[in-house]
């Protein structure tokens, strides 16, 4: 099962991706996590990415695509994955298709976790208190939401045109949202003879 989770920052993609990782036994691949690990390890890539991330802007497509290709090339990802935080713009969506075509592993489902703007702001404020992420400050959050609207929202249409998009109501309890996603994937299995 090869899944892309879409949604604004704070929509719950990471949380739901972790749930899916456990239930589907496929790795959760988060470009944000991969970048944060590179920043923490002070690799050359991490040093380049850190400042961009703190501003809430997108790290260059080339850098992100490089770490993603490396991660998806690892053995545990060859039977599927749950992708979180990528693609963030149309160029990345096209690059992802190309990469997965080469690996003969096209995206099967793109799931948009739909959450109201007011809930997003509330959740990100809460996360800033709990996790203290460097990019959860009020100003950066505003920038990340703008970037999402301007660059990432068109990716939703990209997957819709491919007939791969499903929407899930992301409001409410984490367990309820998880159940909605599981239900959706289950209903998509009817007539699907893919073993993954």
Among the candidate windows 38-46, 82-90, 99-107, 186-194, which touches ligand AMP by CB under 6 A?
82-90
- Asked if 10 contacts 115 with a C-beta cutoff of 8 angstroms, the reply is yes
Among the candidate windows 37-45, 84-92, 94-102, 166-174, which touches ligand AMP by CB under 6 A?
84-92
| Interface residue with ligand AMP, options 8, 24, 29, 35 (CB under 6 A) | 35
- On the 0-12 / 13-18 / 19+ scale of CB atoms within 10 A, 85 is buried
Known catalytic membership, residue 13: yes
Q: Which is nearer to ligand AMP, 19 or 193 (CB)?
A: 19
The verdict on 20 binding ligand AMP (CB under 6 A) reads no
Give the HSE-up count for residue 70: Cα atoms under 13 Å, Cβ half-sphere.
9
Q: Which is nearer to ligand AMP, 46 or 183 (CB)?
A: 46
Closest separation in Å from C-beta 43 to ligand AMP: 15
- Asked if 110 contacts 157 with a C-beta cutoff of 8 angstroms, the reply is no
- Asked if 10 contacts 125 with a C-beta cutoff of 8 angstroms, the reply is no
| Interface residue with ligand AMP, options 16, 31, 159, 165 (CB under 6 A) | 31
The verdict on 59 binding ligand AMP (CB under 6 A) reads yes
- Catalytically annotated residue among 2, 26, 36, 144: 144
- In whole angstroms, give the CA distance from residue 154 to residue 13: 17
Per-residue buried b or exposed e for 131-156, using 16+ beta carbons within 10 Å of the residue's own CB: eeeebbeeebbeebbebbeebbeebb
- Asked if 144 contacts 43 with a C-beta cutoff of 8 angstroms, the reply is no
The verdict on 136 binding ligand AMP (CB under 6 A) reads no
Using CB positions, name the residue nearest to ligand AMP: 32
Q: Which is nearer to ligand AMP, 54 or 76 (CB)?
A: 54
Residues 39-58 that bind ligand AMP (CB under 6 A): 52-53, 56-58
Pairing of strands 109-114, 81-84: unpaired
- In whole angstroms, give the CA distance from residue 146 to residue 152: 9
* Contact set with ligand AMP (CB under 6 A): 9, 31-32, 35, 52-53, 56-59, 64, 85-86, 88, 92, 135, 144
């Amino acid at each position: 099962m090869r899944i892309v989770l879409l949604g604004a920052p704070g929509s719950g993609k990471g949380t739901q991706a972790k749930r899916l990782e456990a239930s589907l036994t496929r790795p959760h691949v988060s470009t944000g996590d991969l970048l944060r690990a590179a920043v923490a390890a002070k690799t050359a890539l991490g040093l380049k990415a850190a400042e961009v991330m703190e501003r809430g802007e997108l790290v260059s497509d080339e850098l992100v695509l490089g770490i993603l290709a490396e991660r998806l090339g690892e053995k545990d990802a060859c039977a599927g994955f749950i992708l979180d935080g990528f693609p963030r713009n149309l160029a990345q969506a096209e690059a992802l298709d190309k990469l997965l075509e080469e690996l003969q592993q096209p995206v099967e489902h793109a799931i948009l976790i739909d959450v109201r703007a007011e809930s997003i702001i509330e959740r990100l404020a809460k996360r800033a208190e709990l996790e203290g992420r460097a990019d959860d400050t009020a100003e950066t959050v505003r920038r990340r939401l703008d970037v999402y609207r301007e660059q990432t929202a068109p990716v939703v249409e990209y997957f819709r045109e491919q007939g791969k998009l499903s929407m899930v109501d992301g409001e409410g309890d984490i367990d309820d949202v998880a159940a909605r996603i599981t239900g959706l994937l289950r209903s998509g299995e009817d007539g699907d003879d893919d073993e993954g």
